[in-house]
Structure 1
Amino acid sequence: MPGRFDGKVVIVTGSSSGIGKETALHFAREGAKVTVTGRSLERLQAVKKELLESGISETDFLIVPADVTSSTGQDELISQTLSKFGKIDILVNNAGASITDAEGKTGVSQGIDSYEKTMKLNVQSLIEMTQKARPHLAKTRGEIVNVSSIVALGHGWQSRPYYSLAKAAVDQYTRAAAIDLIEEGIRVNTVNPGFVKTLFHEAELGWTADQAQEFYDDIGSNKYAIPAGFIGRPEHIAKAIAFLADRNSSEFIVGQNLVVDGGTTLVLGIHAAK
C-alpha cells in the first residue's frame, strides 16, 4: 500500500532525538525519503537502528552529522540531500532548545550570551535553512513546517524569557515567510507543542530520568496544566507536522499556528483557585 509521502524528500533538523526523531521516523514509515541530522553521533546511530528495524531501506534515508547553527552544517544538509535524493519537498525546522545560562541565572537576569545562543539556534538557523532550501522547494512547490512552542503564545514565561522570545520570533517569521513564499508555491506553517515527554529535562536541565518522569506524571495528571489528562508524546507532534506537510490534507492552511498541547493554553492559573 503506497504511503502518504511516497516520492517526497524531507529534511528534519534536530532529528537525533525527541520530536525530531519521531517526525523523521513518521515520514519514513509513510514512504518519504528522509534526511536525519543532529550533533550527537551516538543518537544518530540509534535513529539509524530504529529506521532499519522499521523496515526502512538505507536507500531511503540519509544520516548527516551536522551543527545546524553553522553555515557549513546547513550547506552539508542541503548538498548531501540533493546529492542522494535529487530534490527537496519538505523542510521541517525542528532544531531548537532553551539554552541554560552559564551562571545558572533565570528570568530577566539571564546573561546576554544565553540570549545570543538561544536566538542563533532557534531563530537564525531556521531563517538560514529556509533561505538555502527555498530555491529547491520552489521547484517542487514544497512545504516548510517550523516547530515553535506554546511559550510563544500570549502568556508570560518567567524562568526562561529568551526561549519564549525566540519562539515568538519563529511564529512571526512564519507569518512573513508564508506570505512571501506562497507566491512561489511554498507553504509555510508552524506547530506549537505544549508539554511533551522528551529528553529535554535530562539534557537541558540536568534532571535524572526519575525526576523527569515524576514531573511528567504530576503535570499530566493536573487538569489545570493539561486538561487532556496526560503528557504529550513526540508522536502527537510528529502527526501534526505531517498533517501540515501534506498538501492533500492542509492545502488551504497558510502561515498558521497549529497548537498541539492537550488544552494547556485554554486554562489560566486562576482556574486552580476554584
Structure 2
Amino acid sequence: MVVPLIPICIAGGGAAAVLLIKCYTGGGICRSTARLDGKTVVITGANTGIGKETAIDLAKRGARVILACRDMKKGQQALEEVSNVSESPNSVVLHHLDLASLKSVRKCADEILKKEEKIDILINNAGVMMCPYTKTEDGFEMQFGTNHLGHFLLTNLLLDRIKASAPSRIVNVASRAHEMGEMNFADLMGEKGYSSVKAYGQSKLANILFTRELARRLEGCGVSTYAVHPGAVKTELGRHLFLSHPIFEYLLFPVIWLLLKTPKQGAQTSIYCSVAEELDGISGKYYSDCAELEPSRRAQNEDDAKKLWEISEKLVGL
C-alpha cells in the first residue's frame, strides 16, 4: 500500500510548528548550577504555582527553605513535596503568612527572626490578580495591600537580618502588567473608581518602584534587589479571570497549553535572580526570561519610587 506523503508531511510540519511555539512561549531557563548549601531562603506564596516550583529548585541546591503561606493546608502539602527533594528534609520550614493582614505579616516576621540566624534570599512571590473590589483586614484595596504593602512591611521587618547576611538578595515578583499601571497617589485604594485591571497594574508597578528604591537605599550594603516578570503562567493566580471557568478551560485547553507557561517554566527567572553568579553586585533591575528587560518609563520614575516608599511607611506603621 502506498502511503500518501503530502498529508504526512503536513502533519509532521504542523506538529513541529506547535512544538516550536511551545518552546518559544516556555521562555528562558536558568542555566546556573550554583549551590546554596548553608543559605537560607524565605519564599512567600510557596504553597502553589511558581512559588512552590522555586522552593523545589532551591531546596535541590541545598538551601534551607522557609515557606511563608496563607493556606496552611496547601502549605503542608508543599512542605512535604519540597522536603522530599531536599537533601536535608528538616531544613524545610512552614510559617503562616497572610499578606492581607499587617498583624499576620508582623507575626510571621517575628517567628522567622526568632528561628533563623540568617536570611540570604527573600523572594516576595505571593500575590492576587484582578480580583473584585475588596479590602484587606487593614482597609487597603486588596491588590495594593497584598501585592505591595504586605511585602513592603515583611521586607522591612526582615531587612536587618538580610543585611547582616550579605551578600544577600531580595527578589520581587512583578509582572509585565505594570505597563498598564500608573501610581494614582490621589486614590491608591481605588475608592473613587475601581478597575481590577488597573489596580493590578498599579500593584505590579509598585513592586518595581519598590525594588528600585530599595536598591538605592541599600547601595553599598551588599544586598541586591531584582524585580521579575514570570511570564504568562497557568496558576491559581488567575482564578478571578473569566477564562479560569472550567467550561472555558475545557474549550480553550489547546490554546492555554500552547501559550501559557507551566509553573516550573514561570519560576525560572525568580530562580535565576536568586542564584546567577553574573548578577553579583547588580541591583534594582528588572528581568524576564532570565535576561534583563527595560521596564516602562513610569517604573523608572525615581520621584514616584521615593514617594511610594514614604507613603507605604506611613500606611504600614513603620
1:62-86 CA deviation, whole Å, 9 max, x = no partner?
1112212323322333333344332
SS in 1 for 2:131: coil
SS in 2 for 1:86: coil
1:212 aligns with 2:249: yes
SS in 2 for 1:145: strand
Match of 2:14 in 1: none
Paired amino acid for 1:169: A
1:176 aligns with 2:223: no
**CA distance, structure 1, for counterparts of residue 122 and residue 216 of structure 2:** 17
Match of 1:121 in 2: 146
Match of 2:267 among 235, 238, 242: 238
Structure 1 segment 19-58 matched on structure 2, within 5 A: 19-58=50-89
Match of 1:190 in 2: 227
Structure 1 segment 59-138 matched on structure 2, within 5 A: 59-102=90-133, 116-138=141-163
Match of 1:12 among 43, 49, 60: 43
Match of 1:152 in 2: 178
Match of 2:203 in 1: 166
SS in 2 for 1:218: helix
Distance 1:26 1:210, change over 3 A: farther
Q: TM-score normalised to the size of structure 2? A: 0.68
**CA distance, structure 1, for counterparts of residue 280 and residue 246 of structure 2:** 40
**CA distance, structure 1, for counterparts of residue 34 and residue 79 of structure 2:** 20
CA contact (8 A) 2:174 2:228 kept: yes
Query: Which one has more relative contact order, counting CA pairs under 8 Å at least 6 apart?
Result: 2
Paired amino acid for 1:182: E
CA contact (8 A) 2:62 2:86 kept: no
What's the C-alpha RMSD, in Å, of the aligned pairs? 3.0
Q: TM-score normalised to the size of structure 1? A: 0.78
Count of residue pairs brought into register by the alignment: 244
**CA distance, structure 2, for counterparts of residue 134 and residue 204 of structure 1:** 35
Distance 1:36 1:205, change over 3 A: farther
Q: Which structure 1 segments of 5+ residues have no match?
A: 104-112, 222-229, 266-274
Distance 1:54 1:124, change over 3 A: same
Paired amino acid for 1:17: T
Paired amino acid for 1:147: V
**CA distance, structure 1, for counterparts of residue 272 and residue 90 of structure 2:** 25
Deviation, 1:115, is 7.3
Distance 1:203 1:48, change over 3 A: farther
**CA distance, structure 2, for counterparts of residue 22 and residue 46 of structure 1:** 13
Q: Which has the larger radius of gyration?
A: 2
**CA distance, structure 2, for counterparts of residue 210 and residue 84 of structure 1:** 46
Q: Which structure 2 segments of 5+ residues have no match?
A: 1-32, 183-194, 295-318
1:227-266 CA deviation, whole Å, 9 max, x = no partner?
xxx42122223221122122623114311110239xxx9x
Distance 1:17 1:205, change over 3 A: farther
Deviation, 1:198, is 0.8
SS in 2 for 1:196: coil
What is the percentage of aligned positions where both structures have the same residue? 26
1:257 aligns with 2:294: no
The worse-fitting range, judged by mean Cα deviation, of 182-191 and 246-255 is 246-255
**CA distance, structure 2, for counterparts of residue 233 and residue 69 of structure 1:** 26
SS in 2 for 1:183: coil
Deviation, 1:97, is 0.9
